[in-house]
Amino acid sequence: MSAEAPDRPVLRLKPKANARAIRRGAPWIYDNELVMDRRSKAIAPGSIARLEDHERQPLGTVAVNPGSRIVARMLDPDPEARIDRAWLAARLERALALRARLYPTPFYRLVHAEADGLPGVVIDRFGDHAVIQPNAAWAEARLEALTEALVQVTGVTCVLKNAGGRGRALDGLDDTDAVLHGTAPDAPIPVEMNGATYMADLTGGQKTGLFYDQRENHAFAARLASEARVLDVFSHVGGFGLAALAGGAASVTCVDGSQPALELAEAGARAMGGAERFTTRQGDAFDQLQALAGEEARFELVICDPPAFAPAKPALDKGLRAYERVARLAAPLASEGGVLVLCSCSHAADLSAFTGACLRGIGRAGRRAQLLHTGFAGPDHPLLPQLAESGYLKALVFRL
Percentage of residues in the chain with pLDDT exceeding 70? Answer: 98
User: Is residue 25 classed as helix, strand or coil in its secondary structure?
Assistant: coil
pLDDT mean over 143-157: 98
Is the separation of the CB atoms in 390 and 112 below 8 Å?
Answer: yes
pLDDT mean over 311-334: 96
pLDDT mean over 240-257: 98
pLDDT mean over 95-119: 97
Q: What is the pLDDT of residue 29?
A: 96
Task: Name the band, by pLDDT with cuts 50, 70 and 90, for residue 1.
Answer: very low
User: Is residue 229 classed as helix, strand or coil in its secondary structure?
Assistant: strand
What domains are defined for the chain? Answer: 5-76 (2.30.130.10), 85-181 (3.30.750.80), 189-399 (3.40.50.150)
User: What mean pLDDT, rounded, does the chain reach?
Assistant: 95
Segment 81-100, tens digit of pLDDT = 999 999 999 999 999 999 99
Q: What is the pLDDT of residue 110?
A: 98
Task: Name the band, by pLDDT with cuts 50, 70 and 90, for residue 4.
Answer: very low
Q: Is 166 exposed, middle or buried (0-12, 13-18, 19+ CB in 10 A)?
A: exposed
Sign of the alpha-carbon dihedral angle for 148, 153, 157, 160: negative
H or E stretch covering 324: helix 316-330
| Alpha-carbon gap, residue 113 to 341, rounded angstroms | 27
Q: What is the pLDDT of residue 389?
A: 79
Q: What is the pLDDT of residue 244?
A: 98
Q: What is the pLDDT of residue 299?
A: 98
| Alpha-carbon gap, residue 128 to 116, rounded angstroms | 21
Distances (CA, A) of 333 to 31, 255, 257: 48, 14, 19
Sign of the alpha-carbon dihedral angle for 273, 279, 282, 287: negative
Q: What is the pLDDT of residue 2?
A: 41
Q: Could you tell me which of 170, 174, 84 has the C-alpha nearest to residue 389?
A: 170
Q: What is the pLDDT of residue 20?
A: 94
pLDDT mean over 267-280: 98
Active site annotation includes 358: no
Residues 6+ apart with CB under 8 A from 79: 5, 50, 51, 52, 58, 59, 60, 61
Percentage of residues in the chain with pLDDT exceeding 90? Answer: 91
